[in-house]
Amino acid sequence: MTYTTDMTKGSELGHILRFALPMLAGNLLQQLYNIVDSIIVGRYLGYQALAAVGATGSITFLFYNLCIGLSTAVGILVAQRFGEKNYADVKRYIANSAYVTGIFGIALSVLSALATPLLLTMLNTPQSVFDAAVGYMRISCAGTIAVAAYNWIGSIMRALGDAKTPLLFLIVASILNVVLDLLFVVVFDMNVNGAAWATITAQAVSAVGCIVFAFLKNPMFRLTGESWIFHKKAAFLCVRMGIPIALQNALVSVSMIYLQKTANSFGDTVMAAYTATMRVEQLIQQPFSSLSAAVASFTGQNVGAGERERIRICYRQSMKLAACFAIIMLVVFLLFSRNIIGIFVTEPEVFDIGGTALKFSAFFYIFLGTIHVTRGFLNGAGDVNFALINGIAEVVGRIGFASILVHISSVGYMAVWGTTCLTWLLTAVMSIIRYKNGKWKYKSLSL
């Protein structure tokens, strides 16, 4: 079995599908244990416990996304050098990015765990769920280093064209998470803390397994003593490319935190509905996210090889795939939205609110797909500065639209979901404009 794929030759659509499908399966499994957490917590501990878990989501998403941003940048650099056939630089980036990721992940784990009570207070988390939310979030944040490690190794392996190996370890982690969820929450009665421990344990297993396997099997991970020497410029480029993407992710998360605060202001019933719809939305985003990752790796390798026409074809075909999925999901949610929310909770008022919100949001999924595909393309080409611009747009959109909609009495709690949809529209338009102006043609970076 080979653990690298040269995407600079062969069918563009074929590469995208062969890469995206394992990535999609992995992303769905990753979301599965988030959904399992929510179902077990909601069914066994009640809707207030589910609201407590949901109250932490936007903040932990912030810290996790900072790690994901850094790993995305590392993957772009590795993909471009692999496309150039510059294998010495590939190995240098692997080693130096490991140093950067380790330091960054440990620092975030410590800081986020310490700041938990303050952050939840700033979010106006209701006292009825505050203590449970603090316990869940502290454990989740302490596991940020595991998230950083898994995303680092996964991003590099995918940049080299191997999307299957991270999937295999994620399957093991997902099964483990389900077992531990039931054991910790139901058998050991550890409340919401048990769900948090189950998740970070599964993430750690996935990260360690992937890292060990890559160094044993993948030829690009057979590093020499020279590869391990700290290289200032390699580390600097990891940070330089990682900062805009990490900041974009951070800004998106900040905007989500503001939106969580808006949801909190409507009480725990709307909070529970918002938590359930967010779990569903995270699942729906996975095909788009998988396409984005495939496009980024394909674009990175082909930019390194100077194959611009191939990446244009890739972009057009990926946009068509995203549009098809958006239409399918629109039909599904128009027919079954209330039934889907009913998986998470039993309270009729909660799934009435959530069902209406899912139907409304489904009309805007085509814009969400446009964001993911275009962002993956621009990142793969090295145009990472636009990521920061995009992040600022999301903050302005979510805060601005939320501030307006909550003061329109006829909108009511639907301001929470209306804000998200209008922000998708704004960000999608900006992404298309950036693609059309062609600045991505001159953004490739090298040592």
pLDDT in tens, 344-368: 767 778 778 888 888 999 999 999 9
Specify the pLDDT at position 132.
Answer: 81
| Res 430: pLDDT | 92
Q: What is the pLDDT of residue 21?
A: 83
Number of H helices, E strands in the chain: 15, 0
Q: What is residue 407's predicted lDDT score, i.e. its pLDDT?
A: 85
Helix (H, G, I), strand (E, B) or coil at 218: coil
Q: Are 47 and 272 in contact (CB under 8 A)?
A: yes
- Whether 299 has a pLDDT exceeding 70, the answer reads yes
- Residue 416 has a pLDDT of 87
Return the percentage of the chain with pLDDT > 90, whole number: 13
Residue 177 has pLDDT above 60, yes or no: yes
Nearest one of 2, 126, 131, 115 to 59, comparing CA atoms: 115
- For residues 88 and 343, the model is more confident at 88
pLDDT value for 447: 45
| Alpha carbon of residue 237 to chain centroid | 22
Mean pLDDT of 291-300: 86
Angle subtended at Cα 33 by Cα 59 and Cα 171, rounded to the nearest 5 degrees: 125
Checking if the pLDDT of 165 tops 80, the result is yes
Q: Which long-range contacts (CB under 8 A, 24 or more apart) does 5-12 make?
A: 5/160, 5/161, 5/162, 6/161, 6/301, 7/83, 7/161, 7/297, 7/298, 7/301, 7/302, 8/83, 8/301, 8/302, 8/304, 8/305, 8/307, 8/310, 12/298, 12/310, 12/313, 12/314, 12/317
Mean pLDDT of 294-302: 85
- Which pLDDT score, from 0 to 100, does residue 445 have? 53
Res 353: pLDDT = 84
pLDDT score of 206: 87
Q: For a pLDDT cut of 70, what percent of the chain falls above it?
A: 95
Alpha helix segments (H runs only) across 305-414: 308-341, 348-362, 365-381, 385-405
Residue 343 CA to residue 39 CA, distance in Å, equals 7
Say if residue 406's pLDDT is above 80: yes
Query: Where residue 297 falls among pLDDT bands split at 50, 70, 90?
Result: confident
What's the average model confidence in pLDDT over 18-41? Answer: 74
How far apart CA 38 and CA 35 sit, in angstroms, is 5
**Which pLDDT value is given to residue 279?**
77
**Residue 125 is encoded by which pair of tokens?**
């988390």
